[in-house]
Amino acid sequence: MNPQIKRLENLLELSAQNWPSKTALEEEGRSINYEKLNKVSNLIARALKESFGESQFRAAIYYPKSIESVAILFGILKAGGTYIPLDYEAPESRNLFIIKDCAVSVIFTTSDKCPSLKKSLSGSIQDLNIDGLNQVSLLPIQTNPIQPDGLAYMLYTSGSTGKPKGVMFSHSNALHFVNWCSNQFFPDENSVFSSHASFHFDLSILDLYLSIKHGSKLILISSKESKNPLALSHLIETKKITHWYSTPTILKLMVNYGKIERHDHSSLKYVLFAGEVFPVNPLKKLTLLWSTARFFNLYGPTETNVCTYYEVKLPVDVNRIEPFPIGKICEGLKSKTITTFEGKPELYISGPNVSQGYWNNEGLNKSSFENSEGVNWYKTGDLVDQDLEGNYIYLGRKDRMVKKNGFRVELDEIENTINSNQQIIDVAVIGKINSDFECRIIAFIQINDEEGNILELKKYCLENMPHYMTPDVFVILENIPKTSTDKTDYQKLHHLNEF
């Protein structure tokens, strides 16, 4: 590891020295080179330092993915701050919860979001303009509670209590992960990375920092393009992408609707996927269509980032029906399995990737991490087996978390949100996985007869939860079935529905 690299922003600073005029980022119709990106982030850092001096502060990035948002992110890091990327498309109520939960001092946002934010947040609010960046506003809100040293960013994920929880990462957590990626995927200054995931999603850490570290070009894919397989096919061809990273959901869409055979995708060298199970049939098709690429299944909860990996052996056996393993532990990390109460093996992970814990949540830190003999283990909640070669095989979850299009969803968070609607008497939410490993979220509800209106309830969900958490199906029941101890009988509900 290069001794000059101690913090994430050093990756950009070094690349700006080594490849000043090389394109760092490209988005639709615009690009920026390493030297300019470094300079713009310095401007932002300077403005932040004037406000915060040497104190540790947290800053939210409430901005669509863009050249600006990357410059802001590095600006925050350079000023010694911690950034919290928000889901630009999530309901504002959820983002406001996050803003308040982690007590940010600054929000970087677009001018159209400012008025309603100012209305919802109390305290003295101030707009600043920074040269070279349009529509950036800084709204100082609060002074800083204590946080762990060297915290680089926090990612909020679905929480079972009904509210999202902040997962904290240090510079060294992220740098260790990025260094591991360098040794696996061999990028250089001629590589072209896709940036498909939003910055609030942990997949983005790989493409963002790995490409910047190696002087590669990062293609920022807008949220609109990211769901359009035809646009993605066009992008891979025209930008000559070499390293692709996304969830299997997107890759399945590309196989089915991306018209890949009509495009030249021979630039692809590495195709990485993570976040959910990739059923073997579409994967098989993709390996045939993208015959120049190597394929890697990367596994890891947000709390550890990627912790196991498996390279798909090509060609894929035509008779294979079971999904590929999640593979072996990444170099530098440790794994073990502990038998749960139900007698199933749960995967535990320790090592330098593992998160600093949850923000301001001692209870959850105690229940999710285990400290044994000075080693901090994260309990993944994932049940695994091992094959004869020592690869881990994913079996399922031990709790009520599901993956929807690669996003982590706590069913209890959905229940809590639906429960807060006035027309609801009782609610139970389940995730039903079909034979293609796709999850459908089904909400069983008991409602007030006179006021019951499913359309309004759906609207309420969309206003209060990200779209991937909104139930696919609502089923009205007279009563939600209960067990003898008066808890929701989820077993019965799983058998009851026919969707």
Q: Determine the interface stretch with another protein among 55-63, 144-152, 310-318, 454-462 (rule: CB under 8 A).
A: 454-462
CB of residue 443 vs another protein: minimum separation in angstroms?
12
CB of residue 421 vs another protein: minimum separation in angstroms?
15
The one-letter amino acid at 228: N
The smaller minimum CB distance to another protein, of residues 182 and 446, is found at 446
Helix (H) or strand (E) run with residue 417 in it = helix 411-419
Q: Which of 30, 145, 257, 448 binds another protein (CB under 8 A)?
A: 257
The smaller minimum CB distance to another protein, of residues 366 and 459, is found at 459
The smaller minimum CB distance to another protein, of residues 121 and 454, is found at 454
CB of residue 470 vs another protein: minimum separation in angstroms?
8
**Are 337 and 345 spatial neighbours (Cβ–Cβ below 8 Å)?**
yes
Q: Determine the interface stretch with another protein among 93-101, 102-110, 253-261, 393-401 (rule: CB under 8 A).
A: 253-261
Helix (H) or strand (E) run with residue 404 in it = strand 401-404
Total of chain residues touching another protein, rule CB under 8 A: 18
Q: How many angstroms separate the CA atoms of 449 and 423, rounded?
A: 9
DSSP code for 461: H
CB of residue 460 vs another protein: minimum separation in angstroms?
13
CB of residue 302 vs another protein: minimum separation in angstroms?
22
Site string for another protein, 173-212 (x = CB under 8 A): ----------------------------------------
The smaller minimum CB distance to another protein, of residues 80 and 248, is found at 248
Q: Which of residues 221-250 bind another protein (CB under 8 A)?
A: 227-231, 233-234, 249
Q: Is 462 in the site for another protein (CB under 8 A)?
A: yes
Dihedral over alpha carbons 36, 42, 44, 46 (to 10 degrees): -150
CB of residue 318 vs another protein: minimum separation in angstroms?
26
Q: Is 433 in the site for another protein (CB under 8 A)?
A: no
Q: Which of 296, 474, 488, 493 binds another protein (CB under 8 A)?
A: 474
The smaller minimum CB distance to another protein, of residues 288 and 454, is found at 454
* Cα distances (Å, whole numbers) of residue 74 to 45, 205, 310: 8, 13, 31
**416 burial via Cβ count (<10 Å: 0-12, 13-18, 19+):** middle
Task: Read off the tokens for 488.
Answer: 């929701």
CB of residue 462 vs another protein: minimum separation in angstroms?
6
Rounded to 5°, angle at Cα 227 from 211 and 254: 85
Q: Which of residues 403-422 bind another protein (CB under 8 A)?
A: 405
**394 burial via Cβ count (<10 Å: 0-12, 13-18, 19+):** buried
Q: Which of 314, 375, 433, 473 binds another protein (CB under 8 A)?
A: 473
Q: How many angstroms separate the CA atoms of 29 and 26, rounded?
A: 8
Q: How many angstroms separate the CA atoms of 408 and 399, rounded?
A: 12
Q: How many angstroms separate the CA atoms of 278 and 436, rounded?
A: 8
The smaller minimum CB distance to another protein, of residues 399 and 456, is found at 456
CB of residue 127 vs another protein: minimum separation in angstroms?
30
Q: How many angstroms separate the CA atoms of 427 and 419, rounded?
A: 7
Site string for another protein, 364-403 (x = CB under 8 A): ----------------------------------------
The smaller minimum CB distance to another protein, of residues 146 and 455, is found at 455
The smaller minimum CB distance to another protein, of residues 280 and 454, is found at 454
Q: How many angstroms separate the CA atoms of 214 and 14, rounded?
A: 9
The smaller minimum CB distance to another protein, of residues 9 and 225, is found at 225
Three-state SS for 389? Answer: coil
The smaller minimum CB distance to another protein, of residues 11 and 250, is found at 250
Q: How many angstroms separate the CA atoms of 216 and 209, rounded?
A: 10
* Cα distances (Å, whole numbers) of residue 156 to 83, 211, 467, 469: 11, 23, 16, 14
Please report where in the chains the tokens 């994967």 appear, as a residue: 283
Rounded to 5°, angle at Cα 367 from 361 and 373: 110
Q: How many angstroms separate the CA atoms of 42 and 465, rounded?
A: 35
The smaller minimum CB distance to another protein, of residues 253 and 306, is found at 253
Binding site for another protein (CB under 8 A): 227-231, 233-234, 249, 253, 256-257, 405, 454-455, 462, 467, 473-474
